[in-house]
Structure formats: structure tokens, C-alpha cells
């Protein structure tokens, strides 16, 4: 029963993620309209054959903006996780393997940063250094480091006492070789789970910051920014909020189900 549930979650997650990725990839090379092209005569049009997701209050094609906004969201999520996972994994590996004073200092700094909500610190960072896609990536990437460091550190503390590590030491393997060639490959399962969760958190954080006008700035489309702009027209033109909202839900739910089913 458990295996069937995991398989079901994996298949559904794969379908949702594939749909989101397909939309993003197509959007890189082709969109039905220019995402920023305004047409006053076509504003607030309901979904139709010419505009599958309708148009917004400026007459811009919602589908084209969702495709472009989804690419921005994926880019921010991937870049954020790359920074957090790379730096955090190295810190976690070093502190977990060697321990001692360095471990205590770095982990206390880690705990101090982790004690504050990531989104709150990101908002402070962006408000100081300015808005924009790359500032959001840098802010979220730095704030995601502690979570990855903590996960990898815990795994290294367990793995370094295993027999295969002790055998490698007896054979004269260097610490660098043991860390990167012996232990790291055995952390891939927990690291994959951490990356999936981190990506979902990055997507939601970017959407939240853009919703508050502190993330991706116009004219670049952003799913969070589209939700913010659509709230005034929620009852008159609900498709403006429905399309970007569904894209966020599909992305987050898809990766969550993939993680549960793998």
C-alpha cells in the first residue's frame, strides 16, 4: 500500500512538474504575444481562442506573461538553491566531519541566522540593497545556506563513524578525499530531498516578495507580481489571478509530490 501511494505521488508529481517545465521551456523560445505589449482595446478580456488565459488591465496576454513569469520564478528558485546548497553543503561537510571549535562557531552563527524567518531577513536585505531579480537571488541564497548546512552536517556526523570511512582512513586516504569521494555520494538522498524543499521555499519566497513589490520589478513579469496586480480586478477579471496562482500551485505541489514519491 505504501509503495503504491509513493508511486502514485511520483507519477502525479512528474506530470505536474513536466507541465510546468514544458511551459517554461516553450516560453524561452516562443510566447503567443509579447508579454509586455499593451493593447488598450483588448484589456480585461475573458479567456478566448485568441487569448487562452484572457488579458489583464493593460490588455497584455496573461498566458504569455505566465510563461515569462514562470521562467523568472524557476530561474530565481534554481539560482537560490544552487547558492544555498553549494555553500551550505561545504560548510556542513567540513563542520560535521572535523567538529571542534570551528563547528561550534559556525553552528552558532547558523542557529542565529536560522532563528529569524528567512522571508523577513530577505525583505530586510532587499530593502537595504535594493529590489530586483539578482538581489532577491543573493538574499535568498545566503539565507538558505543554514538549512542545507544543518542537514549535511547531521548526515556527516553519522557517516564519519561508519566502517567504510574508518577503512579509508586506515588506507591513508586524505580528509578531502574522504569528504568528497567517500561520504558525499552517500548523502545524495537527503540532499535531493533538501534541494526539492528548498526550491519550493524559494518559489514561494520569490512570489511573496514580488507580491509586496520587493522582488522582480516591472516590466519583467513575475507570478507574484501578477497576483498583486490582479487583486483589484479579482471579481471583474478573476482569470488574471487564477492563471499565475495555478502556476505557483502546480509547481510547488508537483515538486512536493515528486519528493514524497521518490
Average pLDDT, the chain: 86
Q: How far apart are CA 15 and CA 258, in angstroms?
A: 10
- For residue range 168-195, list pLDDT tens digits in order: 888 888 888 888 888 888 888 888 888 9
- Give the list of residues 6+ apart from residue 83 with CB closer than 8 angstroms, or none: 137, 138, 141, 142, 144, 145
Would you state the pLDDT for residue 125?
78
Would you state the pLDDT for residue 86?
93
Length of the chain: 262
Instruction: Please report where in the chains the cell 563542520 appears, as a residue.
Output: 95
CA atoms lying within 13 Å on the CB side of residue 85: 20
Whole-Å CA distances, 225 to 135, 212, 234, 243, 253: 16, 8, 14, 12, 20
Would you state the pLDDT for residue 1?
64
Grade residue 19 by pLDDT with cuts at 50, 70 and 90.
very high
Q: How far apart are CA 198 and CA 204, in angstroms?
A: 10
* Contact assessment for residue 192 and residue 251, using Cβ atoms and an 8 Å cutoff: no
Fold classification of 75-237 is MetI-like fold (1.10.3720)
Domain boundaries, the chain: 75-237
Amino acid at each position: 500500500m505504501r509503495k503504491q501511494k509513493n508511486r502514485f505521488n511520483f507519477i502525479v508529481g512528474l506530470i505536474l512538474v513536466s507541465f510546468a517545465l514544458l511551459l517554461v521551456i516553450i516560453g524561452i523560445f516562443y510566447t503567443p504575444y509579447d508579454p509586455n505589449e499593451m493593447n488598450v482595446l483588448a484589456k480585461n478580456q475573458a479567456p478566448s481562442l485568441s487569448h487562452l488565459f484572457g488579458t489583464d488591465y493593460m490588455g497584455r496576454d496573461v498566458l504569455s506573461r505566465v510563461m515569462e513569469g514562470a521562467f523568472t520564478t524557476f530561474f530565481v528558485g534554481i539560482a537560490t538553491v544552487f547558492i544555498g546548497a553549494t555553500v551550505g553543503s561545504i560548510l556542513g561537510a567540513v563542520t560535521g566531519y572535523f567538529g571542534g571549535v570551528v563547528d561550534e562557531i559556525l553552528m552558532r552563527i547558523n542557529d542565529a541566522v536560522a532563528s529569524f524567518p528567512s522571508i523577513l531577513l530577505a525583505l530586510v536585505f532587499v530593502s537595504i540593497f535594493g529590489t530586483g531579480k539578482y538581489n532577491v537571488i543573493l538574499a535568498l541564497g545566503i539565507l538558505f545556506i543554514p538549512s542545507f548546512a544543518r542537514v549535511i552536517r547531521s548526515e556527516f556526523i553519522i557517516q564519519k563513524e561508519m566502517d567504510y570511512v574508518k577503512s579509508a582512513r586506515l588506507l591513508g586516504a586524505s580528509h578531502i578525499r574522504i569528504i568528497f569521494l567517500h561520504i558525499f555520494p552517500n548523502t545524495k538522498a537527503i540532499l535531493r530531498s533538501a534541494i526539492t524543499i528548498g526550491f519550493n521555499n524559494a518559489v514561494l519566497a520569490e512570489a511573496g516578495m514580488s507580491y509586496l513589490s520587493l522582488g522582480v520589478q516591472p516590466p519583467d513579469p513575475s507570478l507574484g507580481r501578477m497576483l498583486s496586480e490582479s487583486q483589484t480586478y479579482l471579481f471583474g477579471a478573476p482569470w488574471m489571478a487564477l492563471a499565475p496562482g495555478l502556476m505557483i500551485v502546480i509547481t510547488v505541489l508537483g515538486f512536493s509530490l515528486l519528493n514524497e514519491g521518490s
